[in-house]
Structure 1
């Protein structure tokens, strides 16, 4: 697709990376404000550092296999893990230079038989350390690893918690997680809601669930006298509106 879009022939990893940089800058110029990775559906989200030389050799082999498949009409390019790891670090480096935030799918996958151990947000820790200029937005509270998510957001200034989908997965777990987040993490690092639906009515229903969950958690904090009423109102506004708006 990139070859057709930019009228080029990709014969090496260098060619491919050049087109990637071009596409990224064009999209940034056209208004995109962040990047999102859903590669968790295919593999663990631990990305090792790989040399360009090693990645280029493996990429060349993948190109050769693609050429052979094209004879039968299959133009797909399957990138081995070594290349994926190299490219992810390149993407993070580009995001770091450009001040772009990156969203990562962590925790539970849609559907059945997803490997939960592949999606523990702790696997991303080397990226948090290496790319301090990137704001990492961790989706779905890393369910069921929300304790790990809280610890990461507390430890790393560039790690943020996104509660999208979590209220649908488990309302009680979302309340427990939010209560823990508010105890352990600065509330300016929490986004309390994300629709995660393509249907307007379903988004509205999810928002009602999220608001009820947030209200119940804040009510408990007020009852415990760990938060005052005005503080609770300010927290609700921050996690439902101001924080997501600021991150974008």
Structure 2
């Protein structure tokens, strides 16, 4: 069965979801070791570390940061986030000395890498074998040789104040005095993003409100919009007051994205503690809350991210039963390798393989993406070998499954100009 694992190890991948800054932006930022915390930061926060204490603006020097890192590293080093960080640092930088002094030496290596114009190519294309990655960094100005942009559209419907409306007005370069003009502005933005290379729309609203969405009328939405237009810049409305307008605009963004043939990626399930804006209210991310939208927009491609974890059961049955729903393992392997493997076994049994996207690193630094993909390939390889040993798949079928979820499905779902395998 080593042939399956060997094939997957060498398979060139299309990465369906990242938050990677371009090489130029990383060089400009002079990203150091403490700028690579990301998910590890979440675990350290829940272990008691003050938020932002290792950030550049904290005012601490590197020696103080290294000491704090080691204090909380001892508390979290068992987690998958920590193990993935460790893999990245050891494989890519040769890190072996997990002490405060070792961290300071590692920090210099990370700084040098951030200034190395060949670093992204080495890590992503050579080490990780990623041909293309979708990245969400609030701009379409990305390196098209390596990245394709996906844009968060939450800012177009997260309207609570006149300032929020003004932001869309500026971005779209459309004057807005009424709801119909606002809709024109949002549509103009989508059109602009598509022309600039956007391959999908992202809805991340489960981080700040429920996924459940009602169907208000234009009039109901307009009443709220008009109230916002009469607010001063320092005033605003509550989330409950603006809900009809938000729901109306969510429908509009879905409708116009569909018209532009854009798949829609939606955050479902687990929240990242370090960025969650709603107190980690996990029930806001419940997958079944999306059912009315999935039923109404049967021609829209919905990519439901993160396997809906911990709502795996309902996620699987929705992915199985809805032609317009695509399953996605973005982030899942590092949340829990054990859970990811279990869900993968179930998904192989339940969901057509053409509806599964096998990897999205979901990292904001390429070292994490590399280590995450290494873990993902191991889990997928192990699961497929077990399926072959159980007689559920033939060896050639297992290899075809890996080709589909790691590459070919993304070419088809997003209409990419890339070669299948």
Into which bin does the TM-score normalised by the smaller protein fall? Answer: over 0.9
Larger Rg: 2
Paired residue for 1:157?
323
Paired residue for 2:248?
86
Q: Are 1:131 and 2:293 counterparts?
A: no
- Post-superposition Cα deviations, 1:62-109, rounded to whole Å, max 9, x if no partner, equal 2222xx1x2x5x899978111110001111111232321000000001
Task: Say if 1:115 and 1:6 are closer, same or farther in 2 by CA, change over 3 A.
Answer: closer
Alignment RMSD, CA only?
A: 1.9
Q: Which runs of 5+ in 1 are unaligned?
A: none
Q: CA deviation at 1:195?
A: 0.8
The 5-angstrom pairing of residues 141-180 of structure 1 reads: 141-180=307-346
Which moved further from structure 2: 156-165 or 238-247? Answer: 238-247
Q: CA deviation at 1:7?
A: 4.5
- Post-superposition Cα deviations, 1:131-184, rounded to whole Å, max 9, x if no partner, equal 111100001000011221111111110000110000000000000000000101
Separation in 2 of the partners of 1:196 and 1:4?
29
Paired residue for 2:43?
none
Higher relative contact order (CA 8 A, sep 6+): 2
Paired residue for 1:108?
270
Q: CA deviation at 1:193?
A: 0.9
Equivalent pairs, count: 243
Q: Which runs of 5+ in 2 are unaligned?
A: 1-166, 415-421
Task: Say if 1:231 and 1:154 are closer, same or farther in 2 by CA, change over 3 A.
Answer: same
Whether the 8 Å CA contact 2:329–2:360 is kept in 1: the answer is yes
The 5-angstrom pairing of residues 1-248 of structure 1 reads: 1-65=167-231, 68=232, 70=233, 80-111=242-273, 113-248=279-414
Structure 1 segments of 4+ aligned residues over 6 angstroms from their partners:
74-79
Whether the 8 Å CA contact 1:99–1:133 is kept in 2: the answer is no
Separation in 2 of the partners of 1:157 and 1:168?
28
Whether the 8 Å CA contact 1:196–1:203 is kept in 2: the answer is yes
Q: CA deviation at 1:9?
A: 3.4
Separation in 1 of the partners of 2:174 and 2:195?
21
TM-score (norm 1): 0.92
Task: Say if 1:46 and 1:75 are closer, same or farther in 2 by CA, change over 3 A.
Answer: closer
Q: CA deviation at 1:5?
A: 4.0
Q: CA deviation at 1:29?
A: 2.0
Task: Say if 1:91 and 1:7 are closer, same or farther in 2 by CA, change over 3 A.
Answer: closer
Separation in 1 of the partners of 2:230 and 2:354?
49
In terms of fraction of residues, the more helix-rich structure is: 1
Which moved further from structure 2: 150-159 or 1-10? Answer: 1-10
- Post-superposition Cα deviations, 1:176-223, rounded to whole Å, max 9, x if no partner, equal 000000101101111111010021111000001100110111011011
Whether the 8 Å CA contact 2:304–2:326 is kept in 1: the answer is yes
